[in-house]
Amino acid sequence: MKGKLFATFALLAVVALLVAGCGAADTPTPEVTEPPEETEPPVPTATPTPRPGVGVKACQVSDTGGTDDRSFNQFAWIGMERANVDLGVEIRFLESTGEADYAPNLNTFVEEDCDMIFGVGYLLNDALLVAATENPDVLFAGIDTWDTADNLLGSLYSIEQATMLAGYLAAGMTETGIVGVYAGINIPPVTAFSDGYYMGIQAYNEAHGTDVTLAGWDPVAQEGLFTGDFFDTDKGRTMTETLLDAGADIIMPVAGPVGAGSLAVMAERDAGLLIGVDTDWSSFFPEYAEYVLGSALKRMDLVVFDQINAMVGGTFEGGLYFANLENGRVGLAVGSEWIDLVPASLMAEIEALAADIISGAVSAAFPREAVE
């Protein structure tokens, strides 16, 4: 199976450690010397690069899952951390445990005189609009939100473009002819992942005359396997066991940290591969890298940093930002342990598909109007 195939390659890549010999018992005692005279510290030869964001405060309200979820919320927080390092911006965060926390957390940051406040997640849309309307002197931005104002930026991700590439990859690498998917909550930013995944599988079937099928999602009915949340890893385990038992050997969990349950099951069974979402899961879960075939990236970190940088530079504008393959804000990353194992011919087909999506020759969106 693929786990054992990886193990063979991994052994070939191990570099031997150089072990230093133990010191001899008769090593002579070193000669004692006088300490050097004190000197003045060196004079800097270059002026430090000024950080234009010093004195500015950017704050982030997370959805459930927290900023250490190794997924959606954490990737957005990485953009905040970059703004702190590169621009000197002070950063703060508050974690939400549920919908009731959204408005109070946003208002807390208004009271703390944050210059810019981010809301991370589709479910924060309404609370962000209310906060922006009531506080016109504060700048707001949302991830996966759509309402806008002069002081409010929404951002939408064409993630189906990235998952179409992931679906094509999965269809080209499956050994059973069945790939699977499950998700957290049935909302548009989540179901877009599954739609694109389905479209990628169909594109591979059309190109190769195969019949790879998708378990866990019906794009026509817009129904499938859902855990109902973005935090219960036990549900991720159950979903994964169900899909593996049904014959799926490559699974994409669209449920944030819930997907960690999938990796645990795959490691226990030494079976199956995972398509990560939002972040490069082979990097965020290095202990499970051999089970991560690839990841559909949603570069929240870049969008967050871009908007903070615009605020600091005085160029921030409210409105709607669209993230896609063309501007590099979504994409596909092959897992670190699979880069040399995916056939070059398959990668060339995926690159050609990406170019066709960018040019508009191919649409990654499921054609719902064709089935209505």
Burial of residue 232 (number of CB atoms within 10 Å: 0-12, 13-18, 19+): middle
Domain match, 144 and 210 both: no
The verdict on 219 and 318 lying in the same domain is: no
Angle at 281 between CA 86 and CA 333, to 5 degrees: 80
pLDDT of 32 over the 60 cut: no
Q: What is the pLDDT of residue 11?
A: 29
147/185 same-domain check: no
Provide the pLDDT for residue 255.
94
Task: For 272-285, write each residue's pLDDT tens digit.
Answer: 999 999 999 999 99
Mean pLDDT on 245-264: 96
Q: What is the mean pLDDT of residues 215-227?
A: 97
pLDDT grade, residue 49 (50/70/90)? low
Residue 205: which CATH number? 3.40.50.2300
Burial per residue of 29-57, b for 16 or more beta-carbon CB atoms within 10 angstroms, e otherwise: eeeeeeeeeeeeeeeeeeeeeebebeebb
Task: Sort 86 into a burial class: Cβ within 10 Å, 0-12 / 13-18 / 19+.
Answer: middle
Over range 172-186, report the average pLDDT.
97
| pLDDT at 1 > cutoff 60 | no
Is residue 262 in some structural domain? yes
Which of 11-20, 33-42, 234-243, 318-327 has the least mean pLDDT? 11-20
- Residues 217 and 366 placed together within one structural domain of the fold: yes
Whole domain around residue 318: which residue ranges?
57-157+301-323
Packed helices 188-208 and 159-173: angle between N→C axes, nearest 10 degrees: 40
pLDDT of residue 277: 96
Asked, for residue 337, whether it belongs to a domain, the answer is no
- Indicate whether 165 and 178 sit together in one domain: yes
Asked, for residue 289, whether it belongs to a domain, the answer is yes
Task: Output the pTM of the full model.
Answer: 0.83
pLDDT at 6: 34
* Domains in the chain, number: 2
**Mean pLDDT computed over 201-211:** 98
Residues 124 and 190 in one domain: no
Least confident stretch, 43-57, 105-119, 196-210: 43-57
Q: Tell me whether residue 362 is in a domain.
A: yes
Instruction: Give the pLDDT band of residue 95 (cuts 50, 70, 90).
Output: very high
End-to-end, the C-alpha distance of the chain in Å comes to: 41
What pLDDT, on a 0 to 100 scale, did the predictor assign at position 19? 30
pLDDT tens digit sequence for 122-150: 999 999 999 999 999 999 999 999 999 99
Whether 245 is covered by a domain: the verdict is yes
Q: Mark whether 293 and 306 lie in a shared domain.
A: no
Structure confidence at residue 72 (pLDDT): 79
- Whether 255 and 164 map to the same domain: the answer is yes
pLDDT, residue 42, reads: 47
Q: What's residue 203's pLDDT?
A: 98
Residue 370 pLDDT grade (very low, low, confident, very high; cuts 50, 70, 90): low
**pLDDT above 50 for 16:** no
Q: Which of 27-36, 72-81, 227-236, 360-369 has the lowest mean pLDDT?
A: 27-36
39 within domain boundaries: no
pLDDT of residue 339: 97
Do residues 248 and 110 share a domain? no
**Alpha helical stretches, state H, the chain:** 2-13, 72-87, 102-111, 125-134, 159-173, 188-208, 233-245, 260-269, 281-284, 300-313, 344-359
Where is pLDDT greater, at 289 or 63? 289
The whole-angstrom separation of Cα 197 and Cα 143 is 21
In the chain, the amino acid numbered 90 is E
Mean per-residue pLDDT of the chain: 88
Give the pLDDT of residue 113: 97
Residues 312 and 365 in one domain: no
248 has a pLDDT exceeding 60: yes
In this prediction, residues 228-242 reach a mean pLDDT of 95
Q: Are 125 and 147 in contact (CB under 8 A)?
A: yes
Q: Is the pLDDT of residue 85 over 60?
A: yes
Asked, for residue 35, whether it belongs to a domain, the answer is no
pLDDT-derived band at 28 (thresholds 50, 70, 90) equals very low
Statement to judge: residues 62 and 173 lie in one domain: no
* Residue 169 pLDDT exceeds 50: yes
Give the separation between CA 263 and CA 281, rounded to whole angstroms.
10
Share of the chain above pLDDT 90, in %: 79
Residue type, 209: G
Mean pLDDT of 178-194: 96
Domain-embedded: residue 328: no
Mean pLDDT computed over 318-339: 97
pLDDT at 154 over 90: yes
Same domain, 279 and 196: yes
Query: Tell me: the pLDDT tens digits for 308-323?
Result: 999 999 999 999 999 9
Mean pLDDT of the 95-102 span:
93
